[in-house]
Structure 1
């Protein structure tokens, strides 16, 4: 009986130590920052797409949304006016 009481009190001490040192962790939720792509980068991604890759595979490779790629494709002429030196890269 004496051993039982000793073990019981040791278990209580361990429980108290564990709960006494327990700290509540709060998850930190951070907002994603919007990435900004230069005209040159956009045109290089468009060139990759035009080499025969699908919109989805291109979007996955460069970690963008397919709708973002469609917008860039639609505005390709304006991008070329902003960065005409990229014509040599394509």
Structure 2
């Protein structure tokens, strides 16, 4: 899977997790924080669940979770895990 494909897939998951409040294009473009776009804590939980289910990974939320800030940082974190 290419980096661009992974990021596009994750951006679509952000859009779903936000129940349409955030577009995939906006999620891809955000450079600071998905929270700035309006992704709520419930939205983050939905996103975490979708990523874990869709990619067969367990996201460690006990330590630094800055990898959840942007689509790019989440994609980089997943690539580090072999996705």
Q: TM-score, normalised by structure 2?
A: 0.30
Structure with bigger gyration radius: 1
Scaled by the length of structure 1, what TM-score is found? 0.29
